[in-house]
Structure 1
Amino acid sequence: MDPDLRIDALAPHHDRAGFSCGIDDLDRYLATQAGQDVRRKANGVFVVTASARPETVLGYYTLCATALEPGAVPAAARKHIPRYPLVSATLLGRLAVSTTCQGTGLGAILLADALRRAYASATTIGSCMVIVDALNARAAAFYAAHGFMQLSDSMRLVLPMVVGKLVL
């Protein structure tokens, strides 16, 4: 990662209202809901900033715990998950990059950080995969290019975690 960039938990000094990724729902979430979600412990919200302007949010993502029925998991991933009625997972709920930084690889940096955090917490909270709900085909292709497997007939993708690594 560029040493000039930092990824930290959302804090009061971050300019949430000034962020724009071009998708109203993602912009509105950061501006109006993210702070409440952090206070209520509903989501972990992480932002990337440049060292020179630590208040300016260049991108963000959210993480929270979730569960999935094993039958919904693609066959290729099923061998990596326990056989329980519900499988514990980490939901990468949102990932957005400012319009000024799109196309620079910042999305991949945010995804790598999210996966690192998900894996680090997996043994503490119990999680055997990361799940994303892609907003559109372009987002689904981004996640698929990073090893996620798409569930049939949906925009939901999964990436199993196995002992010692994420399956990539």
Structure 2
Amino acid sequence: MEHGRKELLQKLWAAQDEAYELMAEYDSLPHTYGSVVLYQAEALVVNLIGEHSDITITELGSILKKTASACSQIVRKLKSKGLVEQVRNESNNRQLNLRLTDAGKQIYLDRLSLNLECQNILFRMLQEFSDEEIAHHIAVQERINQAYRGDIDRSKVSVTE
């Protein structure tokens, strides 16, 4: 590999590392919505319940790629904060569906607004780039994501062997 190309790819690797670290830092911070403090994992569950009313803990786990036990723990925290309620399914008495309380719905709406604001800030920052440059970046990012998925798959195989 030619030196200039290798240097560029190393800069790309470093930029990906920095993006990961920034996202991890953001996700680790508590966020306040009115008088309620939520971590990203909790806020994500609020969003999913807001998008999929009557979702079950098992379905949450499937979407989040987490165990039902891990999702139950988050749901318990959200219930104790008065944001989520569990309602017995009328067709299947053994199943509990999740719904947002009025307070949970307000946080869901606040988060939608915050997300839109963050997107708008980013989109304004990217205005200097052409559509072609952004499309090219998407193609590169999709290839990087493909490599990450491969890393995950290889790691799962090596752990189970």
TM-score interval, normalised by the smaller of the two chains: under 0.3
Per chain length, whose mean CA-contact separation is higher, i.e. which structure has more relative contact order (CA < 8 Å, sep 6+)? Answer: 1
Structure with the greater alpha carbon radius of gyration = 2
Structure ranking higher in strand proportion:
1
**Which TM-score applies when normalising by structure 1?**
0.26
Structure ranking higher in helix proportion:
2
